[in-house]
């Protein structure tokens, strides 16, 4: 709640050597505004401007799309300040001040929010601009750009209306390029544009510059709620409540001739993380020309030019003093922010202006290298380095790469825009990508260039290939953010949308054909090329080592096969948190005995069948315990309902009947008998153990005999952790624990060897969480089975939720998929309750998580706050969990130091 006595400051100015804001005010000023203020405060050449805060956006949506009462006068004052600094006047026919109006949210949302340039031009000021710039062509070109941009963003008149007019004129005049148009041509275009606006709008294009300004400000705020922004926020988990700021800034022009330019640069290579200045620019162009990827940009450095094998001269070569100034600014900004910077600049008639700086997006590989390099150089601490790498992005580093020994047919080469190799069937639209993926296919999205509308398709594609645009094009930026391999700007490729093909020289690739791209080299290859697994050494190994030294939670893996267990150890797992014994039952050799057990008429029959399973199950544990070398292994006893093991189609039933010497009717009867309306809530978990104790007895016997066998062979000592699933009340656990203890005694007596073991339970039902205090009297550990706990707490079947969960996410009912990232408010509270009540009963109760959420960084953060001892996840997510656990520990530390 805001104190009524404090008058809210809605607008912050910057420029002219000072600024009211700082980089720390991102929440209020947005990323762009905060960094512009910071740069201006540092005395860097920033075009003066002001930022309307995100609080205005919040106010706007909370008050029926209206502004705070004092906003208009405050903006007017800020504008007067700009006029004073620039010695120009907004709307002045002689010396007009022009401004840009840009959105700027707390997090970068590339291409999502609409921008308006050259605002302040009208039929009168355009003449002033022409006079002052001494370039009538430039002035009218700027005006027509403004009309088009403003009409599109504010007046919602589609681009195509204007492109048609331009094309018609070019066709009539026989022009091929926009640069062929003369000042007079642009004047004609402007007239026609205005006529089109009047026709579409029913009134003329606004000539009042104040009307233009407020129209643009409103459009920025409105754009916060457009569908693309909503989709982007959903995909990137950005809360709607943040809102956007609006930046109004004096225009500088990179398109005022050959001594003007505009560019984007990074203080280090955003793709590899190398400490080399890296960037692209275009001479005589406006900023959007670079980002849109319409013209292939030039490299800023000579080294960059050599690396890209570009024919176009670098800025280092043709504008050496400006290059040095930019290089100095780059060094200063990176030093100031202690992180790699992504900067935009414009050169207007030989003068350099910084338009933006922000922490640069980077590939996981680059993030890793930059973090390790900066820590090694003493710029940041080891803790900071660990916090600089997004755990989810590590996936990229675990991506396969092309096997160097593989035979490959390289069709063409583009820019290496986002690392990792990917194969998939070619599709030519984002919609097709989504449709094909929904049908179970893997696709490679091929586009001339991508736009925000393509986000959905880009998200599901294995890889992305574009034929236009550079390393900072939409496709490249988005793909890196998503961790999706991408090759951009492969200009040799000609896409034929109608035929649904693309061709390179003599080769034609049809929709549905498989190709492979290598986002690290830019190669495009025919067919599916063999790949190899990444090595987990070097910087990656260092980061993991640092993470391990900082985290307090252990990381285990969910694994049951020797292959998975070995993989888990390679990735650094410190034990097995969930060995699902039922997975061992499906082996063809065993399933016969499993079915015999299920089809048995009585306990004696079941015991006979279980006796056949025992040697297999024992060997499973011998293998597992041998691989895990004394690390803890949590074995969950049989969990799924028995009908899952029976055949269901007529053909399968006939086959099984024949093999088992039974008639098909018997199997069908048993199937019918075991059929359940809601198997998820049915006869499974410890309910099987209670009704058929002999099953759990056999499993306990196999565990104890297996552990003893490994110990007797001289293996590391094994302390099995036996886990009872689906417990809802202490009595169930008591019964099962007693049966296990009896079996332990039996095996210990028979072998003459005794070993310690633990019995614990899954906490995967709300009742179990609530009754954790009782249950902990019997349980020596809890493992939160958050998959089932989510299903029961939300009353939502994971298998059935897709059709409505998609709508739910679109309608913003759930911000995240609760099966991917823990619902901390609901499921999380139950975990908290269970942890507290359990530990109250048994102070040294071991707590872990073994649902899918155990590999999700946000969920791992939650696990830290609740005080879990370990997380357990799939082997491939172990490195992610290790890093996330370290960040969680650091976060918890930060929290405790506040």
Residue ranges in contact with a copy of itself by CB under 8 A: 676-683, 687, 690-691, 726, 728-729, 731-732, 735, 764-767, 770-771, 788, 791-797, 799-801, 803-804, 807-808, 811-814, 823, 825-827, 829-830
Closest separation between CB of residue 692 and a copy of itself, Å?
9
Closest separation between CB of residue 829 and a copy of itself, Å?
5
- Residue 823 dihedral angles phi and psi, to the nearest 5°: -75, 90
Sign of the CA dihedral with 432 first, then 437, 439, and 442 last: positive
Nearer to a copy of itself, 152 or 791 (CB): 791
Q: Which helix (H) or strand (E) holds 52?
A: strand 49-52
List residues bridging with 248 in a β-sheet.
50, 101
Closest separation between CB of residue 105 and a copy of itself, Å?
22
Distance CA 823, CA 816 (A): 8
Q: Closest by alpha carbon to 25, among 247, 286, 331, 318?
A: 247
At 168 the three-state DSSP class reads: helix
Nearer to a copy of itself, 285 or 830 (CB): 830
Scan for tokens 């060897």, then name that residue: 753
Nearer to a copy of itself, 753 or 796 (CB): 796
Closest separation between CB of residue 442 and a copy of itself, Å?
24
Closest separation between CB of residue 680 and a copy of itself, Å?
4
Which pair of tokens denotes residue 891? 């976060």
Q: SS3 letters for 454-506?
A: HHHHHHHCCEEEECCCCCCCHHHHHHHHHCCCEEECCCCCEEECCCCEEEECC
Other CB atoms within a 10 A radius of the CB of residue 99 amount to 27
Residue in 399, 474, 643, 853 annotated catalytic:
474
Nearer to a copy of itself, 110 or 766 (CB): 766
Other CB atoms within a 10 A radius of the CB of residue 592 amount to 16
Sort strands 99-105 and 633-636 into parallel, antiparallel or unpaired: unpaired
Other CB atoms within a 10 A radius of the CB of residue 401 amount to 18
Which pair of tokens denotes residue 244? 């956007």
Closest separation between CB of residue 638 and a copy of itself, Å?
14
Sort strands 18-19 and 11-15 into parallel, antiparallel or unpaired: antiparallel
Contact in structure between 490 and 296 (CB atoms under 8 Å): no
Distance CA 454, CA 447 (A): 10
Nearer to a copy of itself, 68 or 605 (CB): 605
Contact in structure between 448 and 467 (CB atoms under 8 Å): yes
Closest separation between CB of residue 688 and a copy of itself, Å?
8
Distance CA 343, CA 713 (A): 63
Nearer to a copy of itself, 390 or 788 (CB): 788
Distance CA 515, CA 503 (A): 13
Nearer to a copy of itself, 69 or 795 (CB): 795
Distance CA 68, CA 50 (A): 17
Other CB atoms within a 10 A radius of the CB of residue 758 amount to 15
CA distance to 278, 317, 363, per residue, from 376 (Å): 21, 32, 20
Closest separation between CB of residue 767 and a copy of itself, Å?
4
Sort strands 298-299 and 11-15 into parallel, antiparallel or unpaired: unpaired
Nearer to a copy of itself, 434 or 732 (CB): 732
Sign of the CA dihedral with 173 first, then 179, 182, and 183 last: positive
Strand spans (E) along 341-420:
341-348, 351-359, 401-402, 410-413, 415-418
Closest separation between CB of residue 649 and a copy of itself, Å?
15
Nearer to a copy of itself, 619 or 729 (CB): 729
486 included as an active-site residue: no
Nearer to a copy of itself, 16 or 766 (CB): 766
List residues bridging with 426 in a β-sheet.
444
Closest separation between CB of residue 241 and a copy of itself, Å?
13
Nearer to a copy of itself, 182 or 607 (CB): 607
Nearer to a copy of itself, 209 or 775 (CB): 775
- Residue 483 dihedral angles phi and psi, to the nearest 5°: 75, 20
Distance CA 487, CA 371 (A): 25
Which pair of tokens denotes residue 545? 């080592």
Distance CA 806, CA 812 (A): 10
Which pair of tokens denotes residue 223? 């754009």
Which stretches of 411-454 are DSSP H helices?
430-438
579 included as an active-site residue: no
Scan for tokens 């090329």, then name that residue: 529
- Residue 114 dihedral angles phi and psi, to the nearest 5°: -85, 145
Sort strands 514-518 and 523-526 into parallel, antiparallel or unpaired: antiparallel
The per-residue DSSP string of 734-788 comes to HHHHHHHHHHHHHHHHHHS-----EEEEEE-SHHHHHTHHHHHHH-SEEEE-HHH
Residue in 57, 579, 686, 850 annotated catalytic:
850
Nearer to a copy of itself, 219 or 688 (CB): 688
Distance CA 475, CA 599 (A): 57
Q: Crossing angle for the helix pair 54-62 and 26-41, nearest 10 degrees?
A: 150
Which residues carry out catalysis?
474, 850
């Amino acid at each position: 709640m805001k104190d009524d006595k404090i008058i809210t400051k809605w607008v912050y100015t910057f420029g002219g050597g000072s600024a009211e804001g700082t980089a720390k005010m991102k929440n209020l000023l947005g990323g762009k505004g905060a960094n512009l203020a910071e740069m201006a405060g540092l005395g860097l050449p920033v075009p003066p401007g002001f930022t309307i805060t995100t609080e205005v956006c919040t106010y706007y949506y909370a008050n029926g799309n209206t502004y705070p009462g004092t906003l208009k006068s405050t903006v007017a004052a800020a504008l007067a300040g700009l006029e004073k600094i620039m010695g120009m006047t907004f709307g002045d026919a002689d010396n007009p001040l022009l401004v840009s109006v840009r959105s700027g949210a707390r997090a970068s949302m590339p291409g999502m929010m609409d921008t308006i340039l050259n605002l302040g031009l009208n039929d009168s000021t355009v003449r002033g601009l022409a006079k002052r710039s001494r370039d009538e062509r430039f002035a009218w070109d700027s005006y027509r750009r403004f009309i088009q941009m403003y009409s599109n963003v504010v007046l919602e008149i589609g681009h195509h209306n204007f492109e048609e007019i331009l094309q018609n004129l070019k066709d009539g005049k026989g022009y091929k390029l926009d640069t062929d148009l003369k000042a007079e041509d642009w004047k004609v275009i402007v007239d026609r544009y205005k006529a089109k606006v009047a026709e579409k709008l029913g009134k003329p294009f606004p000539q009042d510059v104040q009307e233009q300004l407020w129209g643009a400000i409103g459009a920025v705020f409105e754009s916060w709620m457009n569908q693309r922004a909503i989709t982007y926020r959903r995909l990137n988990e950005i809360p709607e409540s943040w809102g956007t700021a609006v930046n109004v800034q004096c225009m500088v022009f990179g398109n005022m001739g050959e001594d003007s330019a505009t560019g984007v640069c990074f203080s280090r290579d955003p793709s590899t993380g190398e400490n080399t200045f890296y960037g692209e620019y275009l001479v005589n162009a406006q900023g959007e020309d670079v980002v849109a990827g319409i013209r292939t940009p030039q490299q800023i450095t000579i080294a960059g030019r050599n690396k890209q094998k570009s024919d176009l001269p670098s800025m280092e070569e043709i504008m050496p003093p400006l290059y040095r100034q930019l290089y100095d600014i780059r060094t200063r900004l990176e030093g100031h922010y202690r992180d790699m910077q992504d900067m935009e600049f414009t050169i207007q008639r030989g003068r350099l202006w910084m338009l933006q700086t922000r922490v640069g997006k980077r590939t996981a590989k680059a993030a890793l290298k930059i973090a390790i390099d900066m820590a090694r150089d003493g710029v940041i601490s080891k803790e900071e380095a660990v916090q600089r790498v997004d755990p989810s992005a590590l996936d990229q580093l675990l991506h396969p790469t092309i096997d160097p020994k593989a035979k490959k047919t390289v069709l063409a080469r583009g820019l290496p825009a986002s690392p990792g190799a990917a194969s998939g069937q070619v599709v030519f639209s984002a919609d097709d990508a989504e449709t094909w993926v929904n049908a179970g296919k893997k696709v490679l999205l091929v586009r001339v260039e991508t736009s925000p509308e393509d986000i959905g398709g880009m998200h599901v594609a294995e890889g992305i290939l574009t034929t236009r645009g550079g390393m900072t094009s939409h496709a490249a930026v988005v793909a890196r953010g998503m961790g999706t391999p991408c090759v951009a700007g492969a200009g040799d490729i000609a896409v034929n949308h109608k035929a649904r093909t693309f061709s390179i020289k003599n080769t034609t690739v049809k929709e549905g054909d498989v190709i492979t791209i290598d986002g690290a080299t830019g190669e495009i290859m025919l067919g599916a090329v063999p790949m190899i697994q990444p090595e987990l050494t070097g910087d990656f190994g260092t980061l993991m080592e640092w993470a391990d030294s900082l985290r307090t939670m252990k990381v285990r893996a969910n694994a049951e096969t020797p292959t998975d267990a070995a993989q888990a150890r390679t990735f650094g797992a410190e034990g097995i948190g969930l060995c699902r014994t039922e997975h061992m039952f499906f082996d063809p050799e065993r399933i016969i005995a499993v079915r015999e057990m299920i089809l048995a008429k009585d306990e004696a029959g079941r015991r006979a069948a279980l006796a056949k399973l025992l040697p297999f199950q024992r060997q499973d544990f011998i293998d597992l315990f041998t691989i895990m070398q004394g690390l803890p292994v949590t074995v969950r006893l049989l969990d799924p309902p028995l009908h899952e093991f029976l055949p269901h189609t007529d053909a399968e039933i006939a086959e099984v009947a024949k093999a088992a010497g039974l008639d098909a009717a018997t199997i069908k009867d048993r199937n019918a008998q075991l059929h359940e309306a809601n198997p998820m809530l049915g006869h499974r978990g410890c309910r099987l153990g209670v009704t058929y104790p002999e099953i759990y007895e056999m499993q306990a016997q196999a565990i104890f005999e297996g552990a003893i066998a490994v110990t007797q062979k001289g293996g590391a000592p094994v302390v099995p952790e036996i886990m009872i699933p689906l417990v809802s009340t202490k009595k169930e656990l008591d019964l099962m624990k007693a049966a296990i203890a009896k079996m332990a005694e039996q095996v210990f007596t028979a072998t003459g060897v005794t070993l310690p073991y633990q019995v614990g339970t899954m906490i995967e039902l709300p009742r179990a969480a609530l009754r954790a205090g009782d249950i902990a009297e019997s349980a020596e550990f809890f493992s939160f089975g958050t998959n089932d706990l989510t299903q029961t707490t939300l009353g939502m079947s994971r298998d059935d939720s897709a059709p409505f969960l998609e709508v739910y996410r679109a309608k913003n009912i759930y911000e995240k998929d609760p099966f991917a990232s823990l619902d901390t408010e609901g499921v999380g509270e139950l975990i908290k309750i269970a942890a507290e009540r359990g530990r109250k009963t048994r102070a040294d109760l071991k707590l872990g998580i073994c649902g899918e959420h155990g590999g999700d960084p946000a969920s791992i953060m939650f696990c830290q706050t609740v005080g879990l001892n370990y997380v357990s996840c799939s082997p491939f997510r172990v490195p992610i969990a290790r890093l996330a656990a370290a960040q969680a520990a650091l976060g918890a530390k930060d929290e405790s130091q506040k």
